[in-house]
Amino acid sequence: MPKKSAVKDYIRTIVDFPHEGIMFRDVTTLFADPRGFRMAIDQMLHPYAGERIDKVVGLEARGFILGGAIAHQLSVGFVPIRKKGKLPGRTLSQDYKLEYGEAIVEIHEDAIQPGEKILVVDDLLATGGTASAGIKLIERLGGEIISCCFIVDLPDLGGRKALEELGMDVHVLCEFEGE
């Protein structure tokens, strides 16, 4: 087995999942390897050394894994953005478009205070729909997003461009061409 020297080396590709023609980029193999996971968290944190971050927001579901680890390293709070109906307190909702249909994500309405500096985290950036919805929720609460950080970007799907058009700084660790 070849030595793994980059985050991308730890990510496996599963062909035709969840549908035929999809090349699924599976980060669970990265999470399962202590060296790979540490490398990913360190690289996700690196661009923000010395920046004020008050909270890390993780997008459901793999963003929770990354966001929790990053928040721990920064000694700041973690806020989940979840699918509709999963949070127990009073929430704000935001709908967004999926490849086939629509979905809704929510955040607790008291999770972020106006002016707090927020880092948005998820595993994969595809079309940017979930991240855009999360950004809208954070901004509705008065949070100031300093950046959006992902392990994988699928540039052919245009998510990075969509987030940058919203004025977001976007940091990714690796890219995979195609869908």
> In three state form, how does the secondary structure of the chain look?
CCCCCCHHHHCEEEECCCCCCCEEEECHHHHHCHHHHHHHHHHHHHHHCCCCCCEEEEECCHHHHHHHHHHHHHCCEEEEEEECCCCCCCEEEEEEEECCEEEEEEEECCCCCCCCEEEEEEEEECCCHHHHHHHHHHHHCCCEEEEEEEEEECHHHCHHHHHHHCCCCEEEEEECCCC
Told to judge if 164 belongs to the known catalytic residues of this protein, a careful annotator would answer: no
Out of 35, 52, 99, 164, the active site residue is: 99
Told to judge if 35 belongs to the known catalytic residues of this protein, a careful annotator would answer: no
Out of 62, 82, 116, 160, the active site residue is: 62
| Catalytic sites, residue numbers | 62, 99
